[in-house]
Amino acid sequence: MKHQLDDFINHLHHERGLSHNTISGYSKDLQLLLDFVTEQQVDDWRRMKVHHIRHWVASNHRAGRSGKSQQRRLSATRTFFNYLIREGFAENNPALSVSAPKDTRKLPGTLDTDQVSQLLNSTATDWHALRDKAILELFYSSGLRLSELVGTNLTDIDFHDKSIIVTGKGNKQRLLPVGRMAIDAIKAWLQVRSLLPVRNATADDHALFISERGKRISTRNVQARLRQAGMLQGVQGRLHPHMLRHSFASHMLESSRDLRAVQELLGHADISTTQIYTHLDFQHLAEVYDSAHPRARKQDQDS
């Protein structure tokens, strides 16, 4: 059973070309499944039944695992059993009819447009500040994920078309517009990019954003720099990359009312995912309701 699980992980890497983080998630979740069924004295994937999967879900629930975590594990299990069936190591998929408990979905934190202006309108003069400003502008301009921004290369930016090629989940690429302010900030950063603060540092020739030691900037470095920028500019709460991505999506939806377009910009495969990243201001909805609904409109005083 362990050998077949290892073969599946190799299949994800070599044949499907999934990202390291995605493969790591599959590996961890399915190892937990293997540990559980071993405890249940199941010695062949063919012997797995629906009640085994339900028992596993129940044990995860008792251990305090979130519904989202269990949904991810069940998804990995379904994909794994589809692979086993195709390879002749199983006859059916016992996870298909099992559902995970649902979590109450909470909207991520967001900044309003005034807070974004407060954050981005700072003056940048030194090496770190110019780089950080370009990072902030690109996050908010194009709604990138943290991994997408860190993985961006110099050749991904087209200054003539004001666009960027982004490699997202599953190595899927999408072409995104980049706003004028972000373009200007990136150009200013590129003028000093090669002037590394650390002596004898060698710049990564491909990475758009690098650390002072010349290597592609890490996700932790970006997270730390954003927290610092938020504190320096007086932004309430803890600023993080996802907050800028969500702010981008929220402001785009509030302006355009085009959920499908925002879905494409964010790179979501399922529009239901976009719906939890975006929200409409309730006051705006109330105003629309009062002005449009026949039973909410105020009658003329003369009537």
Looking up tokens 């890490």 gives 218
Number of other CB atoms surrounding residue 176 within 10 Å:
20
Strand partners, 175: 165
Active-site residue identified among 73, 246, 251, 268: 268
Catalytic site includes residue 61: no
CA 106 to each of CA 43, 55, 263, 275, 276: distance values in angstroms, whole numbers, following the listed order? 40, 28, 18, 11, 8
Q: How far apart are the C-alpha atoms of 22 and 19, rounded to whole Å? A: 5
Examine the residue annotation and report whether 277 is marked as an active-site residue of this protein. Answer: yes
Please confirm, yes or no, whether 169 is among the known catalytic residues.
yes
Q: How many residues does the chain have?
A: 303
70 in Cβ contact with 60 (< 8 Å) = yes
CB 173 within 8 A of CB 167: yes
In angstroms, the CA 120 to CA 275 distance is 26
Q: Are 196 and 203 in contact (CB under 8 A)?
A: yes
- Distance in angstroms (rounded) separating the CA atoms of residues 241 and 135: 10
Task: Indicate if 145 belongs to the active site.
Answer: yes
Q: Please name the residue that has the structure tokens 């559980």.
A: 36
Is 242 designated active site? yes
Backbone phi, psi, residue 181, to 5°? -65, -40
Residue of 209, 21, 246 whose CA lies nearest to 116: 246
Structure tokens at 11: 């299949």
Helix (H, G, I), strand (E, B) or coil at 157: strand
Catalytic site includes residue 13: no
**Residues 278 and 262: beta-carbon distance below 8 Å:** yes
**Which position among 54, 61, 128, 169 bears the catalytic label?**
169
Which one of the listed residues 193, 245, 246, 251 is annotated catalytic? 245
- Catalytic residue, from 145, 213, 216, 240: name it: 145
* C-alpha span between 252 and 147 (Å, rounded): 21
Residues that are catalytic: 145, 169, 242, 245, 268, 277
